[in-house]
Amino acid sequence: MRLLGLLHREFEIRRVRFTGGEPLLRRDLPELIGEVRALGIPELALTTNAQLLAPCAVALKEAGLQRINISLDSLRSEVFARITRGGILGRTLAGIQAARLAGLGPVKLNVVVLRGVNDAELGDLLRFALQTGCHLRFLELMPVGEAAAGFADGFVSVAEMREQLGELGYGWQPLPWDSSETSRDFLVRDADGRETVCGFITPTSEPFCTGCRRLRFTSDGWLHGCLARFGRQDLKPLLGLDEEAAAHQIRGVVRTAFAQKQCPRFEQTVASMADVGG
C-alpha cells in the first residue's frame, strides 16, 4: 500500500482497477479496496469472472468499489465451462444480478471472441445486454501467453464482429472516444426502444498503444508497462528508501514503464495473461 500511495502522490492516479488472475479469491478484498479508497483515488473498479461475486457484491460496494467488469464469454453452459476451464455459468449470471442490485453499475460484460467457439453468439450476448441493461464489450484475441499457440485459428477481427452484428437491424450511434481508452463505444437501440452501450477493443487489428496511459502493479511489487511485452520494473527496493529518495526513483521507473508503450508489438515471452493482470 505504501508503494501505491507513493505512485498516487507523484502522479495523481485517476483510476485503480483490481484484476488478476481472479481478485475475488482474496478474502480481504473489501478491506484492500477500503485502503485504496482512503488514499483519495477517485475511481475504483474491478474485473472478475464473477464466480464468487454474488455473496460479496454489497460488501464490495460498501468498501468503495464503484464499477465492475465481468467476463461473460458465452451464454451456453458447456461453452462457458470450456472457455473458463470448469466455470459454472449460473454463478456468473447470479454475480451479474447481484452487482446490478448492489449499484455497481453500469455492469460491463467482457467477451473475448473465439472463432469456432463463441463467435456465433454475438447476437445473443448483445440481446442479453439490452435485456439486462449491462454494457457489453467485444475483445479481439491477443497472441500472448497460452493464446499464442492457437491464435491464427481463433482470431476474429472487430471488423468481422461488426459486420455480423450489423445484420441484426439495431440502431448504432458512435459515442465520443477518448484516445486513452481501449474501447470504441456505440449506443445500441433495438426495435423495442431498449438501449445499451456496446464497445469493441482492437489490440490486434488496430493497436491503441500510443494513447494508453495504464500501468499494471502486481501484488508482489512489479510494475508492468504493457500486457503484450515482458519488460517490468521491481518497485520493492523502494520500500527501503526514505520518502524523498523513493519519490525520485519512482519517477524514473514510471518513465521506463511508459516507454514500453511506444513499441506496439506482441512478445511471446509473456507466459500467462494472469501473471500480468490480463
Query: Mind listing the pLDDT tens digit of every residue in the chain (278 residues)?
Result: 888 999 999 999 999 999 988 999 999 999 999 999 999 999 999 999 999 999 999 999 999 999 999 999 999 999 999 999 999 999 999 999 999 999 998 999 999 999 999 999 999 999 999 999 999 999 999 877 677 778 889 999 999 999 999 999 999 999 998 877 889 999 999 999 999 999 999 988 887 766 778 889 888 889 988 776 767 889 999 989 998 999 999 999 998 888 876 655 555 545 555 555 55
| Inside any domain, residue 249 | yes
Q: pLDDT at position 246, please?
A: 92
Residues 87 and 150 in one domain: yes
Q: Terminus-to-terminus CA distance in the chain, angstroms? A: 21
Q: pLDDT at position 74, please?
A: 98
| Inside any domain, residue 231 | yes
Residues 237 and 205 in one domain: no
Q: How many CA atoms lie within 13 A of 80 on its CB side?
A: 18
DSSP string computed for 167-192? TT--EEEEPP--TTSSEEEEEEE-TT
Q: How far is residue 252's CA from residue 34's CA, in Å, rounded to a whole number?
A: 29
Q: How far is residue 99's CA from residue 183's CA, in Å, rounded to a whole number?
A: 22
Q: Whole-prediction pTM value?
A: 0.90
Q: Which domain holds residue 198?
A: 11-210
Q: pLDDT at position 155, please?
A: 95
CATH number of 200's domain: 3.20.20.70
Residues 183 and 230 in one domain: no
Q: How many CB atoms lie within 10 A of CB 166?
A: 10
Instruction: Count the domains in the chain.
Output: 2
Hunting for cell 515471452 — which residue is that? 269
Q: Which pairing describes strands 108-112 and 67-71: parallel, antiparallel, or unpaired?
A: parallel
Q: pLDDT at position 277, please?
A: 52
Q: pLDDT at position 275, please?
A: 56
| Inside any domain, residue 3 | no
Q: How many CB atoms lie within 10 A of CB 27?
A: 8
Q: How far is residue 118's CA from residue 163's CA, in Å, rounded to a whole number?
A: 16
Q: pLDDT at position 152, please?
A: 85
What is the grid cell recorded at 64? 468503495
Residues 224 and 198 in one domain: no
| Inside any domain, residue 236 | yes
Q: pLDDT at position 23, please?
A: 96
